[in-house]
């Protein structure tokens, strides 16, 4: 067993900080937080045909309206990520959840495209910091060698949000309209905020407790050094390609299943959950494998970087194989595997950067990574919209092939660049 692995255990014993029931209660609340977050995001994808018909939008216009969600998303992620190194994450998360509910209200009440876009811009600004701050809050309850499972569970909230929301929101949309679905997710956000105000708390491994001497308790490096490291660059590049798949699933997959592959609207509302379920299995499998490897003394270069690269590589292979098969069933299966595995990199990204950055720099490092990565959400919906307008249903398949190429690039970046132990040990420039 390595010093890097044993040091957190020794520190945990010396400080008296242990992750008990409270840690898992907070982690559970943060899983629900991410569920609500992605239920918010999924409404537009589930109601794509209804919104386009109601507002008479082309595919390009609808793609641009979805891209507007990410207009301030990345800026807010970076700004609040840096702020979370100084302000307690508990209050930042509470503020975000309240703003989510407020942001849904204008479009839920009515109005045209301008109101819809304005609401989405506000919602994007409020949701941009959600994932990095939620991960920072969860990981602050655990030392490095125990972070794979809570990190995976918070990421799993993304999947559970879509899986649980898709059937219910699809029913609401078809029976009561897409604006009613906005009221549903607004109420969910308000209820979570109430629970978090009572039960939420910050962990003992945030900034006040010493951690592993090799990484966690090193002298504070500058943000420039962290963000310029090969590990941060490789992790961010790989995560960007993974988030591209996430954006594609959120915005265009229901339409692809219905309009491109011929599934009924009801079936599409159910099938859309499958790649998220595939991603959930990959997340849990990755967390278990990575945790086991690290407990045996395997470096993060292999346990995180190369395991994550393998996920992206498998996703790329499935996406690129799409033109080689015939039939809606076979294409749907490859789509599920390709986008599901391709979108399963977030836990690798978050735990890798959390290992690289000490507690006092962790929020900024995670937030800046998320800000960079989520520009994929700004670009992907508009690009796919243009492909669909210009190529018809064939544009959907072209979009999946483009995702496969990007995932190959991401796998290469993760395989060759990620090594947090190496980069954390570098002397300051």
User: Which residues, 6+ apart, have CB-to-CB distance to 282 below 8 Å?
Assistant: 311, 340, 341, 344
* pLDDT tens digits, 256-297: 999 999 999 888 878 988 998 999 899 889 989 998 999 899
pLDDT of residue 8: 40
pLDDT of residue 266: 81
* pLDDT tens digits, 24-61: 999 999 999 999 998 988 888 888 889 888 888 888 88
The structural domain count of the chain equals 1
Range of the domain at 301: 20-207+222-424
- Given a cut of 60, is residue 3 above it in pLDDT? no
More confident of the two residues 115 and 6 = 115
Length reported for the chain? 429
**Residue 237 confidence class, pLDDT cut points 50, 70, 90:** very high
Residue 94 inside a domain? The answer is: yes
Closest CA to 92 of 357, 354, 367: 367
Query: Residue 358: left if φ>0, alpha if ψ -120 to 50, beta else—which one?
Result: beta
- Given a cut of 50, is residue 218 above it in pLDDT? no
**Residue 428 confidence class, pLDDT cut points 50, 70, 90:** low
For tokens 């498998």, the residue is: 314
CATH number for position 83: 1.20.1250.20
Three-state DSSP string of 47-67: CHHHHHHHHCCCHHHHHHHHH
Residue 48 inside a domain? The answer is: yes
Closest CA to 349 of 425, 410, 427, 426: 410
Average pLDDT over residues 377-383: 89
Q: Distance of alpha carbon 301 from its chain centroid, rounded?
A: 22
Closest CA to 180 of 32, 46, 271, 273: 46
* pLDDT tens digits, 185-194: 999 999 999 9
* DSSP assignment letter at 302: I
For tokens 């490291």, the residue is: 229
pLDDT of residue 427: 54
- Given a cut of 80, is residue 215 above it in pLDDT? no
Query: What is residue 389's three-state secondary structure?
Result: helix
Highest-pLDDT range among 6-10, 395-399, 425-429: 395-399
pLDDT of residue 144: 78
More confident of the two residues 302 and 128 = 302
Average pLDDT over residues 364-371: 90
Residue 77 inside a domain? The answer is: yes
Residue 2 inside a domain? The answer is: no
pLDDT of residue 219: 55
Closest CA to 124 of 293, 15, 247: 247
Token pair for residue 418?
Answer: 């990620």
- Given a cut of 80, is residue 12 above it in pLDDT? no
pLDDT of residue 210: 41
Distances (CA, A) of 354 to 10, 346, 418: 19, 12, 13
Token pair for residue 201?
Answer: 């708390």
CB atoms within 10 A of CB 310: 16
pLDDT of residue 155: 87
pLDDT of residue 58: 87
Residue 46 inside a domain? The answer is: yes
Instruction: Give me the half-sphere count of Cα atoms (radius 13 Å) on the Cβ side of residue 293.
Output: 17
**Percent over 70 (pLDDT), the chain:** 91
CA pair distance 335, 341, nearest whole angstrom: 10
Distances (CA, A) of 225 to 79, 83, 356, 365, 421: 18, 19, 11, 10, 14
Q: Are 150 and 27 in contact (CB under 8 A)?
A: yes
CA pair distance 410, 408, nearest whole angstrom: 5
Average pLDDT over residues 319-343: 96
CA pair distance 123, 69, nearest whole angstrom: 7
- Given a cut of 90, is residue 303 above it in pLDDT? yes
**Residue 126 confidence class, pLDDT cut points 50, 70, 90:** very high
pLDDT of residue 137: 92
* pLDDT tens digits, 388-408: 999 999 999 999 999 999 999
pLDDT of residue 216: 44
Residue 215 inside a domain? The answer is: no
Residue 1 inside a domain? The answer is: no
Q: Are 44 and 330 in contact (CB under 8 A)?
A: no
User: Which residues, 6+ apart, have CB-to-CB distance to 413 below 8 Å?
Assistant: 233, 234, 237, 238
Highest-pLDDT range among 71-75, 139-143, 197-201, 228-232: 228-232
Three-state DSSP string of the chain: CCHHHHHHHHHHHHHCCCCCHHHHHHHHHHHHHHHHHHHHHHHHHHCHHHHHHHHCCCHHHHHHHHHHCCCCHHHHHHHHHHHCCCCCHHHHHHHHHHHHHHHHHHHHHCCCHHHHHHHHHHHHHHHCCHHHHHHHHHHCCCCHHHCHHHHHHHHHHHHHHHHHHHHHHHHHHHHHCHHHHHHHHHHHHHHHHHHHHHHCCCCCCCCCCCCCCCCCCCCCCCHHHHHCCHHHHHHHHHHHHHHHHHHHHHHCHHHHHHHHCCCCHHHHHHHCHHHHHHHHHHHHHHHHHHHHHHHCCCCHHHHHHHHHHHHHHHHHHHHHCHHHCCCHHHHHHHHHHHHHHHCCCHHHHHHHHHHHCCHHHHHHHHHHHHHHHCHHHHHHHHHHHHHHHHHCCHHHHHHHHHHHHHHHHHHHHHHHHCCHHHHHCCCCC
Residue 393 inside a domain? The answer is: yes
- Given a cut of 80, is residue 1 above it in pLDDT? no
């Amino acid at each position: 067993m390595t010093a890097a692995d044993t040091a957190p255990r020794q520190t945990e014993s010396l400080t008296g900080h242990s992750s008990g029931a409270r840690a898992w209660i907070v982690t559970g609340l943060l899983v629900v937080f991410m569920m609500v977050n992605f239920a918010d995001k999924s409404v537009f994808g589930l109601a794509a045909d209804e919104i386009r018909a109601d507002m008479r939008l082309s595919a390009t216009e609808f793609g641009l309206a979805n891209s507007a969600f990410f207009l301030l998303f990345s800026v807010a992620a970076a700004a609040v990520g840096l702020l979370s190194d100084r302000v307690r994450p508990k209050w930042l998360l509470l503020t975000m959840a309240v703003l989510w509910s407020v942001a849904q209200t204008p479009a839920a009440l009515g109005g045209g495209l301008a109101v819809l876009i304005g609401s989405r811009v506000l919602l994007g600004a409020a949701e941009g910091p959600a994932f990095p701050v939620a991960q920072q809050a969860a990981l602050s309850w655990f030392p490095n060698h125990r972070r794979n499972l809570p990190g995976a569970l918070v990421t799993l909230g993304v999947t559970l949000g879509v899986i649980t929301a898709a059937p219910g929101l699809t029913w609401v949309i078809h029976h009561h309209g897409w604006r009613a679905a906005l009221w549903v997710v607004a109420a969910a956000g308000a209820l979570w905020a109430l629970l978090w105000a009572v039960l939420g708390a910050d962990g003992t491994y945030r900034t006040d407790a010493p951690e592993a001497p090799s990484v966690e308790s090193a002298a504070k490096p500058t943000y420039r050094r962290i963000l310029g490291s090969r590990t941060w660059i490789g992790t961010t590049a790989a995560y960007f390609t993974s988030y591209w798949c996430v954006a594609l699933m959120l915005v265009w997959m229901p339409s692809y299943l219905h309009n491109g592959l011929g599934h009924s609207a009801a079936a599409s509302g159910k099938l859309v959950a499958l790649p998220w379920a595939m991603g959930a299995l990959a997340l849990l499998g990755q967390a278990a494998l990575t945790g086991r490897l690290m407990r045996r003394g395997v470096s993060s270069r292999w346990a995180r970087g190369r395991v994550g690269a393998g996920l992206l590589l498998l996703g790329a292979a499935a996406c690129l194989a799409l033109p080689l098969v015939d039939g809606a069933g076979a294409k749907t299966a490859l789509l599920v595997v390709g986008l599901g595995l391709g979108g399963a990199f977030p836990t690798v990204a978050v735990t890798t950067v959390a290992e690289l950055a000490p507690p006092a720099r962790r929020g900024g490092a995670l937030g800046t990574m998320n800000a960079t990565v989520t520009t994929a959400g700004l670009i992907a919906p508009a690009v796919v919209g243009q492909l669909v307008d210009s190529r018809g249903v064939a544009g959907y398949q072209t979009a999946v092939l483009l995702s496969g190429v990007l995932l190959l690039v991401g796998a290469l970046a993760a395989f060759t660049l990620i090594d947090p132990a190496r980069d954390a040990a570098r002397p300051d420039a």
